[in-house]
């Protein structure tokens, strides 16, 4: 999903996802990989937690399945919409299970095992109060 303003705003944090525009290829999560341990990480740490070798940058892909989730209906932080969802996603490309934000427009469609893909859009604000681009997972099935 590419919303208006996506190309003008800064990411909530550098190095979490490929930068826009997404006209040629969809956004992808960025993380780390330790060749020695064959272990992916998200976000990318400087050193592997197992062997302490430096971790190289790696694309973690953009698709996965929702392992588990919850919908939060209390007052949200960082200008997020209310309600919003968070959950664990098993990434297709690398097998890593990561915790992330879920599409606030799809909280009523969330279910365990749902195929999801990464989206990046203006969503909420960063720690300084600036509107920002934020990655979240959205259902792959049509609305
Ligand atoms: Zn390692």
Neighbour tally for 81: CB within 10 Å: 12
Please give the distance, rounded to the nearest whole angstrom, from the Cα atom of residue 67 to the centre of ligand 1: 25
Please give the distance, rounded to the nearest whole angstrom, from the Cα atom of residue 15 to the centre of ligand 1: 20
Per the domain annotation, does 122 fall within a domain? yes
Per the domain annotation, does 62 fall within a domain? yes
Please give the distance, rounded to the nearest whole angstrom, from the Cα atom of residue 33 to the centre of ligand 1: 8
**Residue 85 sits in which domain range?**
29-138
pLDDT at residue number 143: 52
pLDDT at residue number 142: 62
Q: What is the mean pLDDT of the chain?
A: 93
How does residue 141 score in pLDDT terms, banded at 50, 70 and 90?
Answer: confident
97-102 LR contacts (CB < 8 Å, sep 24+): 97/67, 98/29, 98/42, 98/60, 100/135, 100/136, 100/137, 101/134, 101/135, 101/136, 101/137, 102/66, 102/69, 102/136, 102/137, 102/138
Please give the distance, rounded to the nearest whole angstrom, from the Cα atom of residue 92 to the centre of ligand 1: 21
pLDDT at residue number 138: 97
- The pTM for the full model equals 0.90
Please give the distance, rounded to the nearest whole angstrom, from the Cα atom of residue 135 to the centre of ligand 1: 27
* Beta-strand pair 29-34/63-72: unpaired
C-alpha to C-alpha distance for 89 and 72, rounded to whole angstroms: 17
The number of folded domains in the chain is: 1
What does the block give as tokens for 49?
Answer: 């937690």
pLDDT at residue number 106: 96
Please give the distance, rounded to the nearest whole angstrom, from the Cα atom of residue 102 to the centre of ligand 1: 30
Please give the distance, rounded to the nearest whole angstrom, from the Cα atom of residue 99 to the centre of ligand 1: 21
Please give the distance, rounded to the nearest whole angstrom, from the Cα atom of residue 37 to the centre of ligand 1: 4
Q: Are 91 and 60 in contact (CB under 8 A)?
A: yes
Asked if residue 32 has pLDDT above 70, the reply is: yes
pLDDT at residue number 4: 56
The per-residue pLDDT for range 72-97, each reduced to its tens digit, is 999 999 999 999 999 999 999 999 99
Please give the distance, rounded to the nearest whole angstrom, from the Cα atom of residue 50 to the centre of ligand 1: 5
Per the domain annotation, does 15 fall within a domain? no
- Residue with token string 């859009």: 121
C-alpha to C-alpha distance for 87 and 106, rounded to whole angstroms: 13
pLDDT at residue number 136: 98
């Amino acid at each position: 999903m590419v919303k208006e303003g996506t190309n003008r705003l800064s990411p909530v944090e550098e190095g979490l996802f490929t930068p826009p525009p997404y006209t040629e290829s969809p956004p992808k999560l960025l993380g780390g990989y330790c060749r020695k341990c064959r272990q992916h990480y998200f976000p990318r740490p400087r050193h592997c937690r197992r062997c302490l070798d430096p971790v190289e940058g790696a694309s973690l892909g953009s698709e996965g399945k929702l392992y588990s989730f919850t919908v939060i209906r209390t007052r949200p932080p960082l200008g997020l919409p209310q309600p919003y969802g968070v959950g664990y996603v098993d990434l297709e490309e690398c097998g890593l299970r990561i915790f992330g934000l879920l599409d606030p427009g799809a909280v009523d469609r969330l279910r365990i095992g749902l195929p999801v893909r990464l989206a990046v859009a203006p969503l909420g604000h960063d720690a300084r109060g600036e509107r920002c681009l934020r990655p979240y997972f959205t259902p792959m099935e049509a609305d």
